[in-house]
Amino acid sequence: MGGWVKFDIYRKVPKDLTQPTYTGAIISVCCCLFILFLFLSELTGFIATEIVNELYVDDPDKDSGGKIEVNLNISLPNLHCELVGLDIQDEMGRHEVGHIDNSMKIPLNNGDGCRFEGHFSINKVPGNFHVSTHSATAQPQNPDMTHVIHKLSFGDKLQVHNVHGAFNALEGADKLSSNPLASHDYILKIVPTVYEDMSGKQRYSYQYTVANKEYVAYSHTGRIIPAIWFRYDLSPITVKYTERRQPLYRFITSICAIIGGTFTVAGILDSCIFTASEAWKKIQLGKMQ
Dihedrals phi, psi of 30, to nearest 5 degrees:
-60, -40
Give the CA-trace dihedral at 216, 221, 227, 229, to 10 degrees: -90
pLDDT for 11 equals 54
Render the burial of 11-46: b for 16+ CB within 10 Å, e for the rest.
eeeeeeeeeeeeebeebeeebeeebeebeeebeeeb
pLDDT-flagged residues of the chain (< 70): 1-21, 160-162, 219-223, 286-289
- Name which of 101, 134, 96, 140 is nearest 120 in CA terms: 101
pLDDT for 46 equals 74
What is the rounded CA–CA span in Å between residue 154 and residue 191? 10
Angle between the 22-47 and 248-288 helix axes, to the nearest 10 degrees?
160
pLDDT for 19 equals 61
pLDDT for 277 equals 77
pLDDT tens figures, 63-108 = 778 899 999 999 999 999 999 999 999 999 999 999 989 999 999 9
Instruction: Report CA-CA distances (Å) from 255 to 3, 42, 285.
Output: 33, 8, 44
pLDDT for 176 equals 95
Helix locations, the chain, DSSP H: 22-47, 248-288
What is the rounded CA–CA span in Å between residue 92 and residue 48? 46
